[in-house]
Chains A and B, each alone.
Chain A
Amino acid sequence: MKGAWLVLKKEMLYWTKDRRTLFLTLFFPLILYPLLFGIMTKMSLNDSRRLSTSVTRVAIDDPRNILSSILFREGSGFEKFTESLENIPLALSQEKIHLSIKVPQDAKDYVASQKPIDLQITYDPSRDMSEKGFFKIQKFIKDNDAMIVVGRLNELRLTSDILEPTRISIIKTTGANEEIGKLIGLFLPYFLLISMYAGAMQFGADITAGEKERGTLLSLLTTRLSRLQIMQGKMLAIFCVSILGIAMNLIAIGLGGFTAGNLALYDRVEKTKAMAISMGSPTPPTIDLQSILTPQAILLTLGLLIPLGLLFSAIILTIGAQSKSVREANVAMVPGIFIVLAIGVFSLSPGIEKLTYLPFVPLMNITVVIRKLFTGQFVAWEYLITLLMTLLLSWFTVALSGRLLSRENALFKS
């Protein structure tokens, strides 16, 4: 086994001599993820703030000033659009206005005679501001109606309870945070699997087929090291590099959650102010990546990816050792990317976590379990089964590659 360690040492030393790869594997993720998450949080917060504090521009046709007189009060969140408009749908899609309201001429008489007023509201559901404005105006009208109704009931000596045979109070167990968790749970396994395979592939092809191509393998093969030791050392090296890469990714993701979390914290103060100004808007979403990207979830993810890394290393070593050039090796390894891609895409499909047999499907179960780790649906036995299956599978692959590579012409094509 000592020989294998020596080979591992050499490969790792060789790896550190390549500054570009070193930077890409070790430091790039540290910059990438915090930036990514930071931007993600900032944008979604900005967006929600924009929606909650913004003023809805309304083009109104209300010649007798019935609705206008109450709608455009100071701080109502509505603003009258005074220019004349030819094409309302166009103005809506260009976001010149967010709503267009038509009030009938004789509305006042209707109120007096207790007949409903036919209010016509035009909005563009594809525009956030327009849709938001629509919800706002609905609420505004409802509130206003409620006041009128209470007045009418008082006249009849009734209370508003008559309108409410049932009263519902709603408790929401998930919020915006869970939504983001879901999103992260969706893309993270996909991202991790691909980056792990691609990283292992690049390095693996280099130290197997690449060594052959550059003519250095021969000098290794004529030392007293056995082929098995050389192979073991190289497999360990591919394994180490891929795990190092993935560990850096996960650390960066954790850090990303931390910075984004702090951003969100800072934003929450701003938001309370914003809420006070805005009228009739629902509670803005609070996003706290720190509570999604917990150290536990990240460590458990790493725990699953370690045996998977071994599996990838065995596959890549087997292909690389039997290829004559890096090109040939890459051609043979690319189908692996497609398989990983397919598994990743599968993990993106909604509702798959409901399939009961999924924890027993190797590789697939990894993506699902990782996803559940970040959406608060973690199930211990599923994790253990997945871990066990991946360990078994990687052990089997390592054994198989050992057999394939012990053939005479496996390394030194004759």
Chain B
Amino acid sequence: MEDTLTEAPGTAADTTKITVRGLQVYYAGTHAVRDVDVDIPAKAVTALIGPSGCGKSTFLRCLNRMNDTIPDARVTGEICIDGEEIHDARVDPVQLRAKVGMVFQKPNPFPKSIRDNVAYGPKIHGLTRTRAELNEVVEKSLRRAALWDEVKDRLDAPGTGLSGGQQQRLCIARAIATAPEILLMDEPCSALDPIATAQIEELIDELRNRFAVVIVTHSMQQAARVSQRTAFFHLGRMVEYGDTGELFTNPADPRTESYITGRIG
């Protein structure tokens, strides 16, 4: 759409989209995220890596205020998107979430048809004018999520009847159909075969031209392949954050080094 306005990738990655300062998240008994400061660039892919339970998903859920839906989660600190504090009373979490899309760790297709799953976002936000336009959005999203060929003949079949990996791609298609500015992806390839993984990585690379993408992954290779920035989390803290190439070849922190070489985790 606005390709003419797109800046060259090199400079774009330098503008900051999300600024996080002093972020803390507490659940009823646990302090899940501690003192996180980070600047997430626009038009780049940021990977979050770290051992299981270190707070990656929790951090990700802060960025679109999904932690609001957990009754005993408490978030303090500052998160600014485009310079606007998202916890501000003037910010509507509903609009925020339309702008900051999310693909969840567990695939959660709605009990609706495949078409209605993808059309859900465009419909509630009124993004299309005609039925034809909506179908076009559905097809395009499914194609980009590498699912179209598998489901094009059964768009009216229930989304919950797909396989685990297909459901995961359906949820990706559903998220990109809403055309968010920032896309948060929590282990989007965890149930995918190498071919589908490659297609999703291609999609992520393409999304980077317009969106900021934050992806959680347990695969170092994937982080190295798709991201420009990488953050390493450990026990709720962000231990290290920097250029992906730099972090993987020359980690500053001994914990990062032992994680990426497979000694802790």
- A and B bound? no
Interface on A for B, CB 8 Å cutoff? none
